[in-house]
Structure formats: C-alpha cells, structure tokens
Amino acid sequence: ERRAEALLQTLLLLGLDYRYGGTSPETGFDCSGLVAHVFREAYGIQLPRNARAQSEYGAKVGFSELRAGDLVFYNTLNQPFSHVGIYLGDGRFVHAPKTGAQVRVEPLKGSYWMKRFDGARRIQPASL
C-alpha cells in the first residue's frame, strides 16, 4: 500500500534532533518541517511550513477513524493547531516534540496529548 511509503519515510527519521525551523535530516526538524519533509519525499506533495496551515489540507477525520499516515494536531502553545504529528497506527504517532528532544514515537492516548488534541486530517495522494 502506498500509504506505507509515508510511514517508512517517517520511521527513517526517528532519533533526529528537533530544531526550530528545521526542514531536513541534515539540520533536524520542527514538527511541521518533519511532516512537510515526509509528504514531499513520499508523495511529492508540497505542504505548508506550519502546523496551522497544514491543518487546512486534506479531509477532516474523527479520532476513531484514524488510519496510519493521517496528520494529528494539538494545541501545545495555547494556540489551536500549534503542533502536528503523523499517526502510525496502533495508538501511536511520531513527531518532532521540542528543543532538546529528538523525533520520537508517543502514545496517542497519553493524558498530555489527549487533553490537547485538536483534530486530524487525511491527505490522500493523487496516486492512491
């Protein structure tokens, strides 16, 4: 399945350093830079460079309808849609969390994340 391509691209980036404004494996990533990189590499899709703008792409999906490759959005800066990650399936998502941390996998239903969940979007590449 082609959706697996985005997941593979994402998993290859685990452990890379967070960097505010970062957009590449060489420099590190911030949350939206990670998402933009994965979708560009996997599908040739150019997404905007901030989580708020990315939250307007694709189709809205409910929490119970999440599929691997969907984008998950959070309010982490007292601003809606201020953080984004990629759902991996199995109740986990991957993201670039913050300065001093690395790209990592987190439980979707962790209390910190559940309190801040803003919604999810499914970006369907044209070839799927």
* 34 catalytically annotated: no
Concerning whether 37 is annotated as a catalytic residue, the answer is: no
Please report which helix (H) or strand (E) contains residue 16, including its range.
Answer: none
C-beta of residue 116 within 8 angstroms of C-beta of residue 81: no
Phi, psi (degrees; rounded to nearest 5) at 4: -60, -25
> Which of the residues 6, 7, 31, 86 is marked catalytic?
31
Q: Which of 30, 95, 96, 103 is catalytic?
A: 95
- Residue 6 and residue 39 in contact, taking contact as beta carbons nearer than 8 Å: yes
Which three-class secondary structure state does DSSP give residue 84? strand
Q: Which of 18, 22, 83, 87 is catalytic?
A: 83
Q: Is 21 a catalytic residue?
A: no
Catalytic residues: 31, 83, 95
